[in-house]
Structure 1
Amino acid sequence: MDIGTVLLTVMGAAFHWMDRHHVLRDLDRIIAPEGAVVLASGGAPGDVEPAPWLDVVAEVRTRYLGAERRAGSGTYAHPTERHQDVLARSPFSRVETTHWDRALTRTTDDVIGYVFSLSYSSPAQLGDSKAAFERDLRTALLDFNPQGRFDETIRTEAIIATRP
């Protein structure tokens, strides 16, 4: 990359899609010595107890799209190695992690919109089955909670990595 020196590089959850080792080597060439890499995301899978209603969503999604998580025209598995461990072996090996949790209540429509916003259950993934999926998801959610209120804990995590 021919962009000159930068002080800070911030990435969202997309870091897990990248060749993380290669990206960090490239960033080592352009980030100033006092600079940092910051990863902002919802944390790693399993860091927060998933809300029980997510099992309802997963069951309906699996009926329509199969058990493997979709990504574009293929499938995707989350990396098994945590970002912190990858960073610890990089030039940005001084790693600090902080997080904030908050309670969120969604309506049935909120949950459906959220599910459609995910790359692995987007309208593009569902194609002609979108309307049937939405109907079945709405029914399953309301069977789970007839009041149409779905609580969960949302985590925001920041991983800050600098050179030692």
Structure 2
Amino acid sequence: MDLGFGGEVAEFYQRYRRGYPPAVFDALADAFALTPQDTVVDLGCGTGQLTLPIAARVRAVVGVDPEPDMLVLARRAAGERQVGNVSWLLGADTDVPALGALLGGGTVGAVTVGQALHWMDHDALFPRLRPLFRAGGGVAVVTNGTPLWLQDTGWSRALRGVLERWRGVELHRSCGTDDASQRRYRDSLVAAGYDVGATTVDYTAELSLDELVGGVYSVFSVDTLPAPEQRSEFSARIRRALHPETRFREHVRVTVLVGRL
């Protein structure tokens, strides 16, 4: 499954995508009673924003992603942080049965899925995961705030206008962070036989203009990313639209939707 998030896009993703506050990992550990004997799978791991921090709490983590360039950067980051208990596998949600054959049934404490879930067939995925889990284990869908261009602020609306004019399309996809998507995920977990709950963690971040532009680049595919010679003009358009502001306050809500056996 090639979603076009390799090359420079993977580099922008690693550098500019939001991380997660410690309270998110506390919530995951509490939800599944994770211990230093547990194994966690991070499905659609990207460059390891969830994978690497949770590794400190368990015996081993398996990061799975369909994009080789994401895994190269994730592996490099693990080496730089001296995280030695993570394995990186090239694969997708459709490879879960093979992963179960590798790890063995009833051996996994939790599977985490970030906003990559909106690329997956969650109705098929959630039942497919069940054989992996030990008693009390389960799946956590972790959504890390509304996209930069869909927030309820003046600068976000101005940014959306620039992006829609640049790309020539209306931008409305929320990457699974909207209430309707969360209800679909919850209903799907219930239908698959999980006991469902949710935790939210709120925080505020401040972005520079460069961080804002880099965050936008991280969601382009390779085919739609502005070419290097276009990026000065792209940044200038954003700068003009957001003038005179140069720092942008972002209120982020992380939702941890948990389905336990």
If the length of structure 1 is used for normalisation, what is the TM-score?
0.77
The residue type equivalent to 1:125 in the other structure is: L
Contact 1:99 1:158 in 2 (8 A): yes
Q: Distance in 2 between matches of 1:140 and 1:44?
A: 20
Q: Which residue of 1 aligns with 2:189?
A: 87
Task: Kindly report which structure 2 residues correspond to 1:37-48, keeping only aligned pairs within 5 A, or say none.
Answer: 37-42=139-144
Q: How many residues align?
A: 151
**Paired residue for 2:130, among 13, 28, 49?**
28
Structure 1 residue 58: Cα displacement: 0.7
If the length of structure 2 is used for normalisation, what is the TM-score?
0.51
Q: Are residue 141 (structure 1) and residue 239 (structure 2) matched?
A: no
The residue type equivalent to 1:126 in the other structure is: P
Q: Distance in 2 between matches of 1:37 and 1:7?
A: 9
Q: Are residue 111 (structure 1) and residue 212 (structure 2) matched?
A: yes
Give the direction of change, closer, same or farther, for the CA distance of 1:81–1:151 in structure 2 (3 Å limit): closer
Q: Which residue of 2 aligns with 1:98?
A: 199
Task: Kindly report which structure 2 residues correspond to 1:121-136, keeping only aligned pairs within 5 A, or say none.
Answer: 124-127=224-227, 129-136=230-237
Q: Which residue of 1 aligns with 2:248?
A: 150
Structure 1, residues 43-98: CA drift from partner, whole Å, max 9, x if none? 578xx96332111111111111122459xxxxx67565422222121122x11111
The unaligned stretches of length 5 or more in structure 1 are 71-75
Work out which structure has the larger RCO, using CA pairs closer than 8 Å and 6 or more positions apart in sequence: 1
The residue type equivalent to 2:134 in the other structure is: A
The residue type equivalent to 1:159 in the other structure is: L
Give the direction of change, closer, same or farther, for the CA distance of 1:88–1:44 in structure 2 (3 Å limit): farther
Q: Percent identity?
A: 24
Q: Are residue 159 (structure 1) and residue 257 (structure 2) matched?
A: yes
Contact 1:105 1:149 in 2 (8 A): yes
Secondary structure (helix, strand or coil) at the match of 1:41 reads strand
Q: Distance in 1 between matches of 2:239 and 2:145?
A: 27
**Paired residue for 1:8, among 84, 107, 110?**
110
Q: Which structure: greater strand fraction?
A: 1
The residue type equivalent to 1:100 in the other structure is: V
Q: Which residue of 1 aligns with 2:86?
A: none
Give the direction of change, closer, same or farther, for the CA distance of 1:106–1:39 in structure 2 (3 Å limit): same
Give the direction of change, closer, same or farther, for the CA distance of 1:141–1:91 in structure 2 (3 Å limit): same
Secondary structure (helix, strand or coil) at the match of 2:225 reads helix
Structure 1, residues 100-154: CA drift from partner, whole Å, max 9, x if none? 111222222221122222236x785323533321111112112xxx141211201
Structure 1, residues 5-30: CA drift from partner, whole Å, max 9, x if none? 32211111111210001111210122
Contact 2:146 2:252 in 1 (8 A): no
